[in-house]
């Protein structure tokens, strides 16, 4: 027989159990409401959402600052259009020094003071260090890794590039190392048209419409080289098999005069395809600049076209 007191105790225990269970349910539901948006809300979109062809890339930008895009038909080619050559230089001159410039170290990132000294010693100017830039995403990752390892404080512009690539998901940090999410991804940059700066009489920063288009097409060809294995293989075959050693030496000398690292053989062949086939303005590249006749230059171009893949940089 169950005594009345035992029944009362049992009722109290049931009420207590129900109360505890109710608290647990409330906590679980509360956590669910907190976690649900994280599960169902897609990650934020990166800045390179716009897809543009060459005509679109050359059209006036709707915004005043940086413009981000991907090359239409080639999503692995990411682009940044800068409002000026000066802005472009602030964001990318230091990585250019690491990857391409002759006479610069390849195993570390220069500090601000070292960059100033390097530019002074080479006679370079920030705005015209390069009129356009192009890098494999792996090069971008290596730059940021070396900068962190060396304790180099990056500029706001350099960090904005890094943050944009990270938000896009093409660049990621794993501990002390930055990595490229996809090896077949490249960054290409160019600037808007601008007049010469009268405050710098020793440098001509003029960037008219024709030169700007030439620079864009030149840089886009690098983007294609970095992301299209078939085009890359063709350019390599052209350099190694269709040019004579004398012709290769002409190209090495031409590029060395423009401060490219002539010891980097892949850079030599990559720049050769870009200047030879995708740099139409004679003010930027010509037979005379290379040191050959028009007929010799035409012969090289014909050899490059022979067996070239159907892939093109972009449609007008």
Structure tokens of 59? Answer: 């059209």
- What pLDDT score was predicted for residue 243? 98
Place of tokens 């080619």: 77
Domain boundaries, the chain: 39-227, 230-310
User: Alpha helix locations (H) across the chain?
Assistant: 4-40, 54-58, 85-99, 112-122, 137-149, 156-168, 209-227, 229-237, 245-256, 265-278, 287-290, 294-305
**CA angle 129-207-61, nearest 5°?**
105
Place of tokens 């070396």: 146
- What pLDDT score was predicted for residue 224? 97
In a 3-state reduction of DSSP, which class is residue 281?
coil
Q: Which of 279, 228, 273 lies closest to 248 in space, CA to CA?
A: 273
- Rounded to whole angstroms, the Cα distance separating 238 from 236 reads 5
- What pLDDT score was predicted for residue 183? 87
- Rounded to whole angstroms, the Cα distance separating 146 from 305 reads 39
Instruction: Per residue of the chain (316 residues), give pLDDT as tens.
Output: 433 343 344 444 445 544 444 443 343 334 343 333 334 444 457 899 999 999 999 999 888 899 999 999 999 999 999 999 999 999 999 999 999 999 999 999 999 999 999 999 999 999 999 999 999 999 999 999 999 999 999 999 999 999 999 999 999 999 999 999 998 999 999 999 999 999 888 889 999 999 999 999 999 999 999 999 999 999 999 999 999 999 999 999 999 999 999 999 999 999 999 999 999 999 999 999 999 999 999 999 999 999 999 766 444 3
In a 3-state reduction of DSSP, which class is residue 240?
helix
Structure tokens of 26? Answer: 């409330």
80: exposed, middle or buried (C-beta count within 10 Å: 0-12, 13-18, 19+)? buried
- What pLDDT score was predicted for residue 44? 54
């Amino acid at each position: 027989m169950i005594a009345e007191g035992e029944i009362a105790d049992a009722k109290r225990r049931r009420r207590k159990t129900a109360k505890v269970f109710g608290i647990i349910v409330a906590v679980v539901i509360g956590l669910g409401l907190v976690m649900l948006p994280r599960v169902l809300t897609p990650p934020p979109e990166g800045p390179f959402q716009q897809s543009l062809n060459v005509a679109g890339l050359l059209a006036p930008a709707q915004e005043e600052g940086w413009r981000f895009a991907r090359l239409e038909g080639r999503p692995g080619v990411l682009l940044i259009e800068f409002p000026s050559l000066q802005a472009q230089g602030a964001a990318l001159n230091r990585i250019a020094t690491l990857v391409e410039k002759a006479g610069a170290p390849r195993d570390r990132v220069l500090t601000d003071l070292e960059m100033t000294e390097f530019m002074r010693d080479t006679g370079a100017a920030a705005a015209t260090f390069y009129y356009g830039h192009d890098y494999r995403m792996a090069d971008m990752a290596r730059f940021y890794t070396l900068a962190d390892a060396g304790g180099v404080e990056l500029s706001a512009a350099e960090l904005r590039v890094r943050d944009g690539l990270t938000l896009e998901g093409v660049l990621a940090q794993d501990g002390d190392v930055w990595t490229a999410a996809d090896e077949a991804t490249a960054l290409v940059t160019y600037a808007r048209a601008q007049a010469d700066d009268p405050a710098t009489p020793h440098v001509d920063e003029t960037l008219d419409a024709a030169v700007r288009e030439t620079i864009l097409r030149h840089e886009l060809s690098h983007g294609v080289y970095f992301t299209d294995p078939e085009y890359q293989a063709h350019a390599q075959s052209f350099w190694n098999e269709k040019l004579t050693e004398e012709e290769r030496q002409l190209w090495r000398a031409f590029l060395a005069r423009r401060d490219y690292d002539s010891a980097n053989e892949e850079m030599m062949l990559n720049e050769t395809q870009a200047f030879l086939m995708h740099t139409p303005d004679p003010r930027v590249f010509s037979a005379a600049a290379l040191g050959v006749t028009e007929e010799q230059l035409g012969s090289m171009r014909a050899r490059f076209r022979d067996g070239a893949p159907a892939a093109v940089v972009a449609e007008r």
